Amino acid sequence: MKMKKGDLIIIVILAVALISWFIINNPGTVENERQIVIETNGDLYKAITMEEGMEQQEFHIELENGKYIDIVVDENGAYVKDVVCPDKVCQKTGLINRVGQSIVCLPNRVVIYIEGQEESEIDGISF
């Protein structure tokens, strides 16, 4: 089978279009993957991948001297529900859900932050 140069160009264009379509429509892309990371005393305690429709999880972390911190994590983000903390700045921070945001509890040395790719404009207005 002999092909003309023009046919080859059309095949190449079709192939590129098809590949692009798969890349754009692939739901498995990790572009907007966000992880909620909880650290205590500078060590990783837990990293939870944020997913739509994920079940709410609550982490009760025992701290020194009978203190504790309760952290709630769900598809909307993470927040400190309850804590034994002198200033409660961590609890007052409220919900975090964007990459780069963090909750810091200095007295208890607990840090909660969100890491991942920056959200696109489209995701930002979908709320």
Instruction: Give the H or E element holding residue 2.
Output: none
Pick 36 or 105: Cβ nearer Zn ion: 105
**Phi, psi angles (nearest 5°) of residue 97:** -150, 5
34 vs 102: CA distance, rounded Å: 13
- What minimum distance in Å lies between the beta carbon of 97 and Zn ion? 19
- What minimum distance in Å lies between the beta carbon of 105 and Zn ion? 3
> 112: buried, middle or exposed (CB in 10 Å: 19+, 13-18, 0-12)?
buried
Contacts of Zn ion in 58-117 (CB under 5 A): 85, 90, 105
Pick 37 or 85: Cβ nearer Zn ion: 85
Residues that bind Zn ion (CB under 5 A): 85, 90, 105
